[in-house]
Chain A
């Protein structure tokens, strides 16, 4: 599920998500590593990724915990 979600993202968004979520890097580091991204952008991208993941998990399990 996560791999599908990442695959559907723009390459720059995918990269910053991987850096922050799976490589435990600060948003400022991720922004510095990917051209055209600000720290605020990184927070927004990661936030959207997690929101979308939750939506997919809810669909997959057929539940909604609020």
Chain B
């Protein structure tokens, strides 16, 4: 069984050389606690690694695309859900939630409805929103913001059920962090809270199914 430190080094050196080694390639070589440790270390390393300037054409053909997509793939084995994947992708994209919500709303053509978009996005990050209800439009815009593909996000969302097996203590700890960030995000959302409202375009985008 390979050593965690050795595998992390191998991944770092390949990444910095612009290589094609994927997180799942090294994670596959360890199991149990070693795997969890290596996954956490790679995740933290990728968050800190120098960002590459974005060029859509180059990105589509480069190892960076594989790498970013594979971050979701790597996580999927342990906790493959939006709850696990979305915060990490957002961190890797260096976007605060409030900023992501602003851009998501703009990309969906619903600027001015940030508060409702924020509520739905929060539910996505918490694994509370039914993935089948979220439209392809939302996933396309969101994927563009966090550097992956709509297909990857759809796949990650489909693993929702398997993911909710975390121990209650861990879930609670994460919920506290999310609640604090959620409060900050809601404060940052510029639109005032509306009174009782019927379904609108935002509701359709997040609950009306893939073609909404």
- Residues of A within 8 Å of B, CB-based: how many? 20
What is the CB-to-nearest-CB distance from B103 to chain A, in angstroms, rounded to a whole number? 24
Decide: A22 near B45, CB < 8 A? Known: A2-B40, A61-B36: yes
Interface string of A36-66 (1 = CB under 8 A from B): 0000000000000010011001111111111
B96 at interface by CB-CB < 8 Å: no
Contacts of B161 in A (CB 8 A): none
Contact check, B9 vs A54: say whether CB atoms are below 8 A apart.
Answer: no
- Residues of B within 8 Å of A, CB-based: how many? 24
Contacts of B5 in A (CB 8 A): 50
Contact check, B40 vs A61: say whether CB atoms are below 8 A apart.
Answer: no
Contact check, A57 vs B37: say whether CB atoms are below 8 A apart.
Answer: yes
Partner of A22 from the list B32, B48, B167, B173 (CB cut-off 8 Å) is B48
A35 at interface by CB-CB < 8 Å: no
Task: Give A60 to B174 CA distance when docked, in angstroms.
Answer: 10
Contact check, B9 vs A24: say whether CB atoms are below 8 A apart.
Answer: yes
What is the CB-to-nearest-CB distance from B117 to chain A, in angstroms, rounded to a whole number? 27
A1 at interface by CB-CB < 8 Å: yes
**Could you name 14 residue pairs across A and B whose Cβ atoms are closer than 8 Å?**
A22-B45, A24-B9, A24-B13, A53-B37, A53-B40, A54-B33, A57-B40, A58-B33, A59-B170, A61-B167, A62-B167, A63-B33, A64-B33, A66-B33
